[in-house]
Structure 1
Amino acid sequence: MLEREAPTPLSPGVDLPPPPTNRRGGTAALLTAAAALLYGWGLTRGAPHFFYSAAVRSMGESWTNFVFGAVDPGGTITLDKIPGWLWPHVALVKVFGLHDWVLLLPEMLAATGTVPLLYAAVRRWAGDRAALLAAVGYLVTPITFRAAQLNLPDTLLVFCLVAAAWALIRAWRRPGWTALLGPAVLLGLAFQMKMLQALLVLPAFALAYLVGSAGPMAARLGRTAVFGTVTLAVSALWMVVVSLTPPGSRPAIDGSPTGSVWEMVLAHNGTEHDDRAAGTFGGAPGPIRLLNEQVGTQVSWLLPLALAALVVGVAGARRDHDRDRLAGWVLWGGWLLVAGSAFSQVYGMHPYYTAMLVPAIGAVLGGGLGTALAAWRAGRPLGWLLPAGVLGTAGWAVVLLLREPVGLDWLAVVVAVAGVAATALLLVARRGHGSRAAEPPDVTGARPGPTAERPDPTAARRAPAVAAGAALVAGVVAVLAGPAGWLLSTPVLEPGSPQIIDPVAGPAAFQRIRQEALNGGSAPRVNPALLDYLTRHDGDEATPRDGGEHYLFAAGESGTAAPYIRAGYTVLPLRGFALRSPRVPVARIERLVADGRLRYLLLIDRAGPMVDPATAGWLRSHCAVVPRTDYEPDARPGPWDPTLYDCRR
């Protein structure tokens, strides 16, 4: 198979020449600028995640905290995840300071950078117009916009995966195994962003290389094995470093009662994540989860057309015996189908996880539409998937817009009219194209007289062209207006909003429906009354006898401590985010109190897994309860509110 560095044409039968090179660069630049404007605007409407913002502040306190991802400045316990995606945040905070916009800047940059990367990857595989469609599809999908408004790992994960896909397409066109090092390292870097989720694309990547690369099968298998080995080695690098570090020289590992980083990554964030107790933020698992009320409006707008494009594209590549094109379909289609199937089945899935699907949806959409258009114009049966896909996508958008009362009924009408019009105009354009193709040529050379009844050939050509242009405009509205309107209606993300825990895009009415479905609640925030009480009663007396660090208070778990840590206070978490995480032993608590480094403890003391029985027993016998009315007279305590203990009374 010959090596091909130039992008292939969009599809057989599309008779427009490729645009000049300078126009290609201009298109990518315009798309990148549009992404920067969109996600820059989104940055001003976002809010940092309380928990991960605390970790960023703590990780900046020391190299040990930075490497291991400590949640608290004292380095008591880590995050329950690999901290790789937060390393850029810490670096930027060191440069610009700990501000909300700085905490969101890496997501904005990653979301923006994904657009030219996706454009370049798809252009290398399927041409310029396919690349344009892929990038636009990425830009208008609502969940990519919302995910970039919080300091969550998904946006950086997507950036790394798209970079790896670009490098892989380049690698299968080059001889030898060294070209595979780039995509392998990038895929391993994606693992540092979000662990096992990154490896959902590994089967598609490996099979795509086998299909697209040249040489004997044995050699291709060997190179693929090298690719997989390097990927897994880079993925495991942080875990190996943690495992080789003595426990006394690093924070305790959240997510593992035994302190095993392997258990934290592979069990807590892997096999045990598929747990019914983990919640159903994304709705009940099942084959139609990506279409349900929780997830459908976030990612599924373009799915009908993308799936139609996938069928047409694979069939076209097989018919033309184009291994390079088929390898791309294996890459992007496999990414979409494998990851989509996984998200459809796991418990504890948040809708924003599906941001990982968006580049694959865009690539499949862009790569297949040209082939579908060619099949439609040529009169092949598969061509019927083009109008069916457009009409089905418009119909699905109408369902999404009307399924719940969110105030976008007018947009549903626009999409419905555009979908019907686009389908009808496609039929008109095809009929005109077919009649021109069937018209016998005039081989006599005779000139028709002034009274000839032969129709004007210019008019005959103009009508289908006008219909085709109108179909394009109507099709763009039918396919893109729904997701774009949903995205742009997304309100500002307020601090303390439950959207910080389970972010979704969409109108304010949709946000309220989601909050009610999750039984209200809010993200943890600093309690000003409690903070004022603690600083007034403890601030001036904080004189540790051993010269060690003084804690404002100890919290029952790291989630309660996080808002105060983010605000600049030193708080001791008694355990991590996960219930099955190491706990600070009673002996250490007793020693900290005796040394004057700790006075107050704030935790839920009800019986159950939230509290260590030994800690609760020690508190009751050595410390006094501070009545809630002492610091918040008008509060109405709930059964699960934490209790404040004073260990100097």
Structure 2
Amino acid sequence: GFNSVSILLPQALAGVLSVWLLYYLVRRHFGVIAGLLAALALALNPISILTNRNVTIDSTLTLVLLLGAWTVLKAAETGRLRWLLLTAFIVGIGFNIKTLEAYVVVPAYGLLYLLAAPHRLRKRIGHLALAGVLLLAISLSWVVAVDLTPASQRPYVGSTQDNSELSLALGYNGIQRLLGSFGGFGGGSSANRAPNGTPPSGNTGRTGTSSTPGNGGSTNTGGIGAGQQRPSGGSGGGGGAGGLFDIGTPGPLRLFTQPLAGQIAWLLPFALLGAVALAWQRRPRLQSDRKQQSLVLWGMWLLTMGIFFSVASFFHQYYFTVMAPAIAALFGIGVVTMWQDYRRGGWRGWLLPIALVATVAEQVYILSQYPTWGQRLIPPLVVLGVIAVGALLIARIAPRLHLRAPGRRFLVPALTAGVLVLLLAPTAWAAIPILTSTQADTLVAGPTQTTSFGGNVGGGQSANASSDAALIRYLEAHQGTAKYLVAVLNSKGADAIILATNKPVMTLGGFSGTDPILTTSQLAALVKSGQVKYFLINGSGGGSQSALITWITQNCKVVPSSQLQSSSTSSSSGGFGGAEQLYEYTGA
């Protein structure tokens, strides 16, 4: 049923299982210490912790992709086609969880098998082609099933302007993330376009609430998609994606600078140098060297996602959850690999102190943007970092100066402290919103962050207005035989009412209020048949639903606030810039 446990427990379990699975994958070829460090880094990753505690499904996708990592490693090691086909099946399931977000690992999986499988090149390519066919078949199974169903026999596909699941999967939730077209999000008015679907069916609180955002999909609460929300005060329509989603400016340093650095970059310098260390340490023998196979997997996983997030026009910061396993794996691998190189001497031995210095510097930069927390976290970070780096440098330089070098009994604890202190700030960044936020669905780590599903989502009613007790009492008392308690512009206007009453609420424009679900004639038919008679809207607005709003204001009357016994039902409206009013159709 619909409750917090059924919604949140699967994500929490997925997060726990992902940590265990990453430990297993890293430990197989790099040992227990590397596995434990990788698991610890993932377990304390700020954005992963938050995602594991909320209603987004990125934690589930992460677990699925880690299962795919296990099967593709088995495929590369054994060359058996069934393992590769199982990998394709798993990624196809991932596509049905978060559409094209699942495909960001495909380059890593494909390249690993192409380079490492113990077959001739022609056979490897043939195996990959078969896997590709299966991948597409599994991925598009739901999409094709929906699109082949006549539009009159299914709900409207939310977050689209053409009522197509394929355009949702490949367009708004796919290519448009990279190129920056907002499509169904608010890319122009669609009020005059003929809808392709049926009017919204009754929502009884089972889907589309503030606790169940999604990728859009075939519900009456589609729109922004993928659990998305605008910053508080956001307006409908397009606009610059960087400001809308708070993801900074595209470029090679995007992940290392604010506002993204505090979400994912805490260990990124160490992970990158860890990959360099492993590549430098071993000659290319991909068909026999299991460690090099892991390097291809995690390195390409990180590289592909790093490139995407560096150039993409719009995405949510919690998408970094899927990038976190690669960083965590290379962090654990890097510590062990660079320690081995350090003990052997030579030029590669300098990578460990360099990695510590670079990572401490990145973390100091992030913390310096937050003076209050920087004052608390920078001192222990710098002190322990200096001790660790100093010990490593002295141990390398002292013999050349004919001085006594620190022994292993000192070096190991110093390095351990230096490595573990790198996890202090990310842990704090995850804990801050958990301990201080009043929102259970906070999606951004760190202090002074307000982004959550509870925010006002473009073009509609605020939850505070919609949940006004007097308004709800009035609607319940006067609903009569109407199917819908009230109609609102978007799902954020409906969520609180559904949760408070467990009654159907109509969303005229889907999740964001921009979906062209109804024409004015269809709305008139619904009203005149008695299915809905109350509308909570901004009567002075335009936007993509201007035709519907005009019809409502011309054919319905305003319910005086005195009848509601509350003046708090008026609130700022993100889409139309005025106060919301309750309208009633009286049949006149």
Q: 1:493 to 1:539 in 2, by over 3 A?
A: farther
- Residue 345 (structure 1) aligned to one of 304, 311, 315: 311
- Residue 227 (structure 1) aligned to one of 99, 108, 131: 131
CA distance in 1 between counterparts of 2:375 and 2:437 reads 26
Deviations 1:2-49 (A, max 9, x none): xxxxxxxxxxxxxxxxxxxxxxxxxxxxxxxxxxxxxxxxxxxxxxxx
Once the two structures are TM-superposed, the CA of residue 394 in structure 1 deviates from its matched residue by: 1.5
Once the two structures are TM-superposed, the CA of residue 520 in structure 1 deviates from its matched residue by: 12
Do 1:425 and 1:470's aligned partners in 2 also have CA atoms closer than 8 Å? no
Q: 1:523 to 1:428 in 2, by over 3 A?
A: farther
- Residue 542 (structure 1) aligned to one of 455, 469, 480: 480
SS in structure 2 opposite 1:258? coil
CA distance in 2 between counterparts of 1:636 and 1:531 reads 13
CA distance in 2 between counterparts of 1:404 and 1:313 reads 34
Q: 1:241 to 1:468 in 2, by over 3 A?
A: same
For 2:56, the aligned partner's letter is L
Once the two structures are TM-superposed, the CA of residue 537 in structure 1 deviates from its matched residue by: 5.3
CA distance in 2 between counterparts of 1:323 and 1:224 reads 21
CA distance in 1 between counterparts of 2:93 and 2:171 reads 20
Asked whether 1:258 is paired with 2:169, we answer no
For 1:220, the aligned partner's letter is R
- Residue 560 (structure 1) aligned to one of 493, 509, 519: 493
Do 1:538 and 1:552's aligned partners in 2 also have CA atoms closer than 8 Å? yes
Indicate the residue corresponding to 1:478 in structure 2: 421
CA distance in 1 between counterparts of 2:485 and 2:27 reads 56
Do 2:157 and 2:163's aligned partners in 1 also have CA atoms closer than 8 Å? yes
Do 2:509 and 2:516's aligned partners in 1 also have CA atoms closer than 8 Å? yes
Once the two structures are TM-superposed, the CA of residue 346 in structure 1 deviates from its matched residue by: 1.6
SS in structure 2 opposite 1:407? helix
Do 2:15 and 2:63's aligned partners in 1 also have CA atoms closer than 8 Å? yes
CA distance in 2 between counterparts of 1:170 and 1:617 reads 61
Do 1:429 and 1:465's aligned partners in 2 also have CA atoms closer than 8 Å? no
Do 1:177 and 1:226's aligned partners in 2 also have CA atoms closer than 8 Å? no
Indicate the residue corresponding to 1:406 in structure 2: 372
Q: 1:555 to 1:636 in 2, by over 3 A?
A: closer
Indicate the residue corresponding to 1:313 in structure 2: 278
Deviations 1:299-327 (A, max 9, x none): 11101111111111112233677543222
CA distance in 1 between counterparts of 2:436 and 2:561 reads 30
Once the two structures are TM-superposed, the CA of residue 112 in structure 1 deviates from its matched residue by: 0.7
Indicate the residue corresponding to 2:267 in structure 1: 302
Indicate the residue corresponding to 1:90 in structure 2: none
Structure-to-structure mapping, 1:377-416, within 5 angstroms? 377-416=343-382
CA distance in 1 between counterparts of 2:117 and 2:568 reads 70
User: Segments of 4+ in structure 1 off by > 6 A?
Assistant: 518-523
Structure-to-structure mapping, 1:201-220, within 5 angstroms? 201-220=105-124
CA distance in 1 between counterparts of 2:360 and 2:461 reads 36
Asked whether 1:280 is paired with 2:257, we answer no
Deviations 1:221-259 (A, max 9, x none): 111222222222211111011122222221111122221
CA distance in 1 between counterparts of 2:437 and 2:373 reads 21
For 2:508, the aligned partner's letter is L
Indicate the residue corresponding to 2:409 in structure 1: 466
Deviations 1:261-302 (A, max 9, x none): 111111121233324634232222222221222211111110
SS in structure 1 opposite 2:583? strand
Do 2:471 and 2:569's aligned partners in 1 also have CA atoms closer than 8 Å? no
Do 1:491 and 1:506's aligned partners in 2 also have CA atoms closer than 8 Å? no
- Residue 588 (structure 1) aligned to one of 498, 522, 531: 522
Structure-to-structure mapping, 1:74-113, within 5 angstroms? 93=1, 98-113=2-17
Do 2:558 and 2:581's aligned partners in 1 also have CA atoms closer than 8 Å? yes
Asked whether 1:148 is paired with 2:55, we answer no
Do 2:479 and 2:485's aligned partners in 1 also have CA atoms closer than 8 Å? no
For 1:272, the aligned partner's letter is Q
Asked whether 1:269 is paired with 2:142, we answer no
Once the two structures are TM-superposed, the CA of residue 110 in structure 1 deviates from its matched residue by: 0.7
CA distance in 2 between counterparts of 1:588 and 1:476 reads 63
For 1:387, the aligned partner's letter is P
CA distance in 1 between counterparts of 2:477 and 2:523 reads 19
CA distance in 2 between counterparts of 1:537 and 1:110 reads 40
Asked whether 1:505 is paired with 2:445, we answer yes
Indicate the residue corresponding to 1:181 in structure 2: 85
The count of residues paired between Structure 1 and Structure 2 equals 516
Q: 1:537 to 1:382 in 2, by over 3 A?
A: closer
More relative contact order in 1 or in 2 (CA 8 Å, sep 6+)?
2
Structure-to-structure mapping, 1:56-75, within 5 angstroms? none
Once the two structures are TM-superposed, the CA of residue 475 in structure 1 deviates from its matched residue by: 1.7
Deviations 1:114-149 (A, max 9, x none): 011111122234333221121111012111111122
Structure 2 unpaired stretches of 5+ = 182-237
Name whichever of 127-136 and 470-479 sits farther off: 470-479
Asked whether 1:124 is paired with 2:28, we answer yes
CA distance in 2 between counterparts of 1:504 and 1:490 reads 8
Once the two structures are TM-superposed, the CA of residue 579 in structure 1 deviates from its matched residue by: 5.5
Indicate the residue corresponding to 1:327 in structure 2: 293
CA radius of gyration, larger in? 1
For 2:498, the aligned partner's letter is I
Do 1:191 and 1:198's aligned partners in 2 also have CA atoms closer than 8 Å? yes
Name whichever of 384-393 and 368-377 sits farther off: 368-377
Once the two structures are TM-superposed, the CA of residue 416 in structure 1 deviates from its matched residue by: 0.2
Structure 1 unpaired stretches of 5+ = 1-92, 440-454, 545-549
CA distance in 2 between counterparts of 1:535 and 1:592 reads 23
Once the two structures are TM-superposed, the CA of residue 408 in structure 1 deviates from its matched residue by: 4.1
| Aligned-residue CA RMSD (Å) | 3.0
SS in structure 1 opposite 2:535? strand
Indicate the residue corresponding to 2:222 in structure 1: none
Structure-to-structure mapping, 1:435-450, within 5 angstroms? none
CA distance in 2 between counterparts of 1:146 and 1:541 reads 39
CA distance in 1 between counterparts of 2:31 and 2:363 reads 28
CA distance in 2 between counterparts of 1:365 and 1:559 reads 40
CA distance in 2 between counterparts of 1:475 and 1:402 reads 19
Q: 1:145 to 1:305 in 2, by over 3 A?
A: same
Indicate the residue corresponding to 1:168 in structure 2: 72
CA distance in 1 between counterparts of 2:259 and 2:280 reads 33
CA distance in 1 between counterparts of 2:47 and 2:3 reads 24
Q: 1:188 to 1:125 in 2, by over 3 A?
A: farther
For 2:344, the aligned partner's letter is A
- Residue 191 (structure 1) aligned to one of 71, 95, 101: 95
CA distance in 2 between counterparts of 1:191 and 1:524 reads 32
CA distance in 1 between counterparts of 2:256 and 2:92 reads 31
For 1:313, the aligned partner's letter is L
Once the two structures are TM-superposed, the CA of residue 357 in structure 1 deviates from its matched residue by: 1.1
CA distance in 2 between counterparts of 1:111 and 1:191 reads 19
Do 1:430 and 1:464's aligned partners in 2 also have CA atoms closer than 8 Å? no
CA distance in 2 between counterparts of 1:537 and 1:201 reads 49
Indicate the residue corresponding to 1:33 in structure 2: none
Once the two structures are TM-superposed, the CA of residue 422 in structure 1 deviates from its matched residue by: 0.4
Indicate the residue corresponding to 1:87 in structure 2: none
Do 1:390 and 1:478's aligned partners in 2 also have CA atoms closer than 8 Å? no
Instruction: State percent identity of aligned pairs.
Output: 30
Indicate the residue corresponding to 1:373 in structure 2: 339
How does the TM-score come out when normalised to structure 1?
Answer: 0.73
Name whichever of 244-253 and 639-648 sits farther off: 639-648
For 1:318, the aligned partner's letter is R
CA distance in 2 between counterparts of 1:227 and 1:238 reads 19
Once the two structures are TM-superposed, the CA of residue 412 in structure 1 deviates from its matched residue by: 0.7
